Structure 1
Amino acid sequence: MTRSEDAVFLKLDDVKKSYDQKSLVVKGFDIAVEQGEFITLLGPSGSGKTTVLMMLAGFESVTSGTISIRGKSINKTAPYKRNIGMVFQNYALFPHMTVAENLAYPLSVRGMSKADQKARIAEYLKLVELDDFGHRYPGQLSGGQMQRVALARAMIFEPTLILMDEPLGALDKKLREQMQYEITRLHEKLGFTVIYVTHDQAEALSMSDRIAVFNDGVVQQCAPPAELYERPVNAFVAEFIGENNFVEGHVERIEGGRAVVSVKGGGQIVAEAAQGLEASGRCIVSIRPEKLFIHPTSHDHDNEIEATFVARIYVGDFIRYYFRLSDGSEIVVKVLNDLSAPEFGEGDQGRLQWLISDSIAFPHDGEMPDTTG
């Protein structure tokens, strides 16, 4: 998506960060963010995403490049002058202050009158559905309630931008999903701009307008969730976003943007050709587990490969089938838990089928994608 200069609210232009003046932690980050966008920085530990957030907040200096809001550089602007709200994983609430006093703090340092503070606090407590909790202390709240207070405190002074650093990392799964909904609801209602850091792919996919996937200080791809999932630009993004199978092979030829691939053990498959794929080179073909079908099936298909059944894992709403290909590699199929779910015995042969459009052939450098960071 092309963004006009007039629509740009926040811009990072070739931003780099080095702590020792030798190696770069962030290696030239570019992004243009519109007012009200929800942008997630996603990647493994040590990939550079939190460093970008700290530079935005002003807690870390920029080695080179420019960060600007509404066309004005904030590189040399002190953190307290940036008008940015922050939400942390550990809540960062003042334990000796009540909820109301925690919310009053950013208002009082900005010189708001007591009467206006009281009205604003009541408004934001209602917004996060904690109307009757103003008198309580953080130690008297649950994790989810504390995170709501932290979120209200970040929003209450109406900042130009809100930064969130793994804000839900300390919560259990059910509470985490509830807070994902709460943050999304408040974002849609108030329209504030968010830069959100997480290593949780599902969280990023469910909440973001766009996601920037980091690896080793470099943004691999920045795109809307569906585009990242369905059309990753390289094998790292394909592996890091969601779950994927990789089948190794050799490119026989490329025709009309599609690669004809011979696979180990014999046979050919056809996949969409990723950028940079060369004819007669090695490749890995990615196929999502839910895009695979087990013969017999009524689904259309272009490709078929034989595999040996290994195991069947019941997950509840779906079933995971594990197969082994002739080269010894494993492939996973996800099937809805309904009457069509097939039965296999260990060692049975199966035929796995899929569409060309549901597979992508990436260049293969000899190592499988590493997403551990």
Structure 2
Amino acid sequence: MVADPLWTGYRYREVDADGWATFWRLDPRGQTFRLHDWHAYPNKPGHRLWSRAATPAGVRAAWSTTATAVTLEIRAALDIYARIAPVDFLIGGELHQRHEVNPGEQLITVDLPGEPVDLEIWLPQSGAIGVRAVRFDGEAVPRPPTGPRWITYGSSITQCSGANGPSETWPALVARRHQWDLVALGFSGECHLDPIAARTIRDTPARLISMCLGINIYGAETFSGRTLPGQVESFVSTVRDGHPHTPLVVITPLIAPDLEGKPNAVGLTLDDVRACIELGARTLHDPDLHLIDGRTILTPEEARHLYADEVHPTPDGYHLIADRLAPLLTLPL
């Protein structure tokens, strides 16, 4: 199925018999579930990753247009977090209108200036979303991304369901600041070094790749101190197979004041997880791989003020994370 050139930030587009498109951030072909059941992915092990992959976090489209209005035909259903994020409409890189999305099928119409502008539509970063059409009442020319591609992989802290809107996730803020072509592979609760994620990154051209690893592994007790370094090494090696010289950045878990020092069910504290990730990454002796200690991104005091719970930032927290990471995530000259 040919990818729609209007949209970017996804891996595979599935279109059902009624013309509704689901933008998958991992390629689901070959999986055992029915792809057309876009609104009913089971919340059970083995399928939760795919429900997150069907959420279009970071998926967006851009046009140059003189139209006076644009209409987006969209449908939505609640995800496991019982939240559907809004759609953001940007003009000239600035938020023009944020529109809430309700469960079910709907038309969202937004007034435009009627003079030449660059318009971007950012799809919700949370919820089960389908898109059927974007219509303008005047001329609109698709504007493909021109900046260098940046892939970022991580957990809910990278998916940013709690951000005010899809253009205000920390990856979106960093990408917009640097004018990069974002591929956001944040999967809430599902950053467990899955081979499909490593292969997706391996097979997607990019100028910079970052990976925020560890918080889901700590919370779900995915690996032990014996197995985690090797899993990190294997994941990064798979990525490196497709990107021999691309800068790779590995970010260890951000500070979590209420969890620090508490062993999980396999006996690992967050500092243990950080040490295992660093060990696995450094085993490769890769001069183009860089480590960022997640504890340096926010202070404990900032985290206590800017977390909505033990680990998830508030909207202001995501902005501060973007401010701190933007100067650290750079491309070589």
Fold-level similarity (TM above 0.5):
no
**The structure with more strand, counted as a fraction of residues:** 1
TM-score, normalisation: structure 2: 0.25
